[in-house]
Amino acid sequence: MNEYKFRVKFLDDTKEFLDSIDEKSREKIIYNIWKAQSKNNKELFKKLQDEIWEFRTKYNETHYRFLAFWDKTNKHDTIVISTHGIIKKINKTPIKEIDKAERLRQQYFNNKTKDNENI
């Protein structure tokens, strides 16, 4: 049985992106995310800036990126939240995509705080 370093959760934008691509590409991406969960590999999972990271997959000359952030609020269950996916067409991940991931991160934690207050 594999020991994972973290769980991965997909937000709606990530799920929609995965649904929009072909099956073979989707399988390769899921496989690489699974691999990143079990061992440190900067080719598969890399910090971009501040709190934003990216899962990286190259398949059939296409560079897929899934932006993400860490949720370590539960000491027994670390989760990496994937905000959305893109097909990367330039060398650097576009700033607007990093900004979108940061907005979704802030929204996620604001909602989580509100949910905890309502318990």
For the chain, how far is it from start to end, CA to CA, in angstroms?
35
- Render each residue's pLDDT in the chain as its tens digit; 119 residues: 457 889 999 999 999 999 999 999 999 999 999 999 998 899 999 999 999 999 999 999 999 999 999 999 988 889 999 999 999 988 889 999 999 999 999 999 999 877 766 65
Indicate the number of domains in the chain: 1
8 A C-beta contact, residue 25 and residue 64: yes
In the DSSP assignment, the letter for residue 44 is T
pTM score: 0.90
In DSSP terms, 56 is beta-bridged to 65
Return the pLDDT at 75: 85
**Can you give the pLDDT at residue 114?**
74
Write out the residue range of the structural domain in which residue 16 sits. 7-114
CATH number at residue 75: 3.30.2310.20
Phi, psi dihedral angles at 72 (to 5 degrees): -110, 25
pLDDT score, position 90:
84
Residue 1 lies in a domain: no
Tell me, yes or no, whether 2 lies in a domain. Answer: no
